Chains A and B, each alone.
Chain A
Amino acid sequence: MDTDDFAEFVASRSATLLRAAWLLTGDAGKAEDLLQTALMATWRRWARVAAGGDPEPYVRRVLFSTYVSWWRRRWRAEVPTQVLPDGMRPDDVAQSQAERDVVRRALNKLTRQQRAIVVLRYVEDLSVAQTAEILQTSPDTVKVQASKALAKLRSDPQLRMAEMGAMGNVR
């Protein structure tokens, strides 16, 4: 097993993958857990994964399928943990935190599959076919669920307000 290749891969891609993991989980700790789990699975099959060319699709598939499947119940049950002492967050950070919470709450209203589809389609910019392959579902399901997810996000009044604040206009 070429550990140097693995190290190089995670060094170059971990930031992007961690961002996707955060959008799926809405929590930095859970995002780390999810990405570590995906990388563990990749590490175990690295020789085969690396031999196939670009390992990123494999990691991405593990990341999203893990999120959609067996992490379902346990994450719903986790509680927020440490609240850091007062005075550690300046106002601008608090504002960002508030806006982040709005997005996180809006994403929480989606089903797990819808959330994964939103991240894959609209953040990772994958096609319907690529999204369907990663989530091991049909392209029709991706289209239908993406449409439902967008409808839910559009109807979220807080998200619309956050968007106004962020972009200075109303759609």
Chain B
Amino acid sequence: MSDEEHLRAILLDAVPPLTGPQDWSTVVARRVRRTRRRVALAAAVSTVVAMIGSSMTVQLIGNTATPPHRPALTCPEVPADWLQTVPDSDTPGRFIDPSGVASVSMCLKTVSGPPREETVWTLDTRLPQMLDVFNAMPTKANFNEQRKRNHPDANIPSEWMCDAVGYFQEFAFAVTYTDGRVVTVLTDRNCGLAYLDGHLRVMQPSPVNTFKQLYLGQQISRTDPATVATPSCPSTTSGAGEFIDQISAMRIATLTSDDPFLPTPLVAVALCRYADNGTGLRLTAHYEARTTGDPRLPGPVDTWRQRINAATARREGAAGCHGASDLANATALDVMWAADESGAVSAVPVEWGPCRQVVARNATIPPSESLKEYLDQVLATR
């Protein structure tokens, strides 16, 4: 066997069994249609932005970034008390039919409380991994048996226990098949359960977290960093209510741990300093930085990602001065903007006067002296 034949054999042996969509042409057609809608939407957004002119929202330099988490379909209805209406017992068998799935959409639906923004994200690659996780979810009985095996001394209640956490919004999955069928997977974070067609399963492994990881991978692989715009500083700010956090959608949060505020490498950062000279908060200094190569390599942008993550890390018992995210009375304010490699943008306000606090994830955290020094270094000279 020649060298070249050896190499061919090695390479071909290395290729795993690949299970792409069964109907490629349908998947491709759907993606073409979504791209067209996105282009049309981007054009409409550009027109609106041009009409509004300088507004309080973030202004972007250069190319318009691809909308990172854009609704693609209407979410199914999710009854607030669906868990009370489905049978408590489980039908044996696999949870979901993986044959012919064209896409999986995850919807954030409001189930109680005041109206809130609802979002849908669509995954049309990495589907076998997603469907494997759905089908790996155990029944309540199997989950309890496994827990007893792994923790024989633990006091595991015979009844299924739910956390006493009231969620205003829940996730639901719309699984679309290539023949046009759509099935809905309902989830309940409070009880950690998912339901589909007689199957009630424990969300361990978590389809929500898996979806977030796979979707983030999909978005990153579809986003050219060169097209991610650098945030720039609005000339004025009024304080609370305007600081977006698009990156939060793909953050994985559990009761025991949190992702860092910025879990993904950044393409660009902008630091904005505001002071109130009697006519409201006005921009007095700003700093922008952008990666020129691989966002994972060390550099000023990655350094600022680490600093922002340190500044926004939750600390037990620590809180800012207001105890709430109300910045309307601030007289000295810095805002740290970050655009990540998926194109999502988030902002972190840091109030220096009259109170001192970092506001992130609806929490307030005392800022460190080192954060002030770093910000002063780049902003005092500009």
Complex Cα spacing A88 to B19, Å: 17
B236 CB–A CB distance under 8 Å: no
Q: Report B-chain residues with C-beta under 8 Å of the C-beta of A10.
A: 24-25, 28
Q: Report B-chain residues with C-beta under 8 Å of the C-beta of A103.
A: 10-11, 13-14
Taking CB atoms and an 8 Å cut-off, the chain A residues in 65-106 that contact chain B are: 70-71, 73-79, 81-82, 84-85, 88, 96-97, 99-100, 102-104
A33 and B125 form a contact (CB under 8 A): yes
A67 CB to nearest chain B CB (Å): 12
A43 and B218 form a contact (CB under 8 A): no
A39 CB to nearest chain B CB (Å): 5
Complex Cα spacing A96 to B31, Å: 33
A138 CB–B CB distance under 8 Å: no
B18 CB to nearest chain A CB (Å): 5
B94 CB–A CB distance under 8 Å: no
A22 CB–B CB distance under 8 Å: yes
B265 and A96 form a contact (CB under 8 A): no
B214 and A29 form a contact (CB under 8 A): yes
- Known interface pairs A82-B133, A153-B7, A167-B9; A36-B25 also in contact (CB < 8 Å): no
B13 and A166 form a contact (CB under 8 A): yes
Q: How many A-B residue pairs have CB under 8 A?
A: 159
- Known interface pairs A33-B125, A75-B221; A82-B20 also in contact (CB < 8 Å): no
B10 and A40 form a contact (CB under 8 A): no
B320 CB–A CB distance under 8 Å: no
Number of interface residues of B (CB under 8 A): 54
B294 and A76 form a contact (CB under 8 A): yes
Q: Report A-chain residues with C-beta under 8 Å of the C-beta of B16.
A: 22, 28, 96-97, 100
A31 and B18 form a contact (CB under 8 A): yes
A82 and B213 form a contact (CB under 8 A): yes
Complex Cα spacing A40 to B296, Å: 29
A159 and B217 form a contact (CB under 8 A): no
B294 and A82 form a contact (CB under 8 A): no
A167 and B6 form a contact (CB under 8 A): yes
Complex Cα spacing A97 to B8, Å: 18
* In-complex Cβ contact of B20 among A23, A35, A73, A121 (8 A): A35
Q: Which of A13-21, A49-57, A129-137 is the interface stretch?
A: A13-21
B216 CB–A CB distance under 8 Å: yes
* In-complex Cβ contact of A84 among B6, B9, B132 (8 A): B132
Nearest A residue to B130, CB-CB: A82
Complex Cα spacing A161 to B154, Å: 46
Complex Cα spacing A22 to B270, Å: 37
Complex Cα spacing A79 to B265, Å: 10
- Known interface pairs A22-B16, A23-B11, A123-B12; A81-B221 also in contact (CB < 8 Å): no
Nearest A residue to B221, CB-CB: A33
- Known interface pairs A33-B222, A77-B296; A14-B20 also in contact (CB < 8 Å): yes
B129 and A81 form a contact (CB under 8 A): yes
B296 and A3 form a contact (CB under 8 A): no
Q: Report A-chain residues with C-beta under 8 Å of the C-beta of B31.
A: 36, 40
Complex Cα spacing A99 to B16, Å: 11
Q: Which of B10, B32, B222, B341 has most chain A Cβ within 10 Å?
A: B10
12 inter-chain pairs at a CB distance below 8 angstroms, sorted by A residue, are: A10-B25, A19-B12, A74-B341, A78-B217, A81-B129, A82-B129, A85-B136, A85-B205, A88-B132, A102-B14, A119-B11, A123-B8
Residues in A lying within 8 Å of B, measured CB to CB:
3, 6-7, 10-11, 14-15, 18-19, 22-23, 28-33, 35-36, 39-40, 43-44, 70-71, 73-79, 81-82, 84-85, 88, 96-97, 99-100, 102-104, 118-119, 121-123, 125, 150, 153-154, 159, 162-163, 166-167, 171
Pairs of residues from A and B, 7 with the lowest C-beta to C-beta distance, nearest first = A103-B14, A7-B25, A29-B126, A81-B213, A10-B24, A32-B125, A39-B28
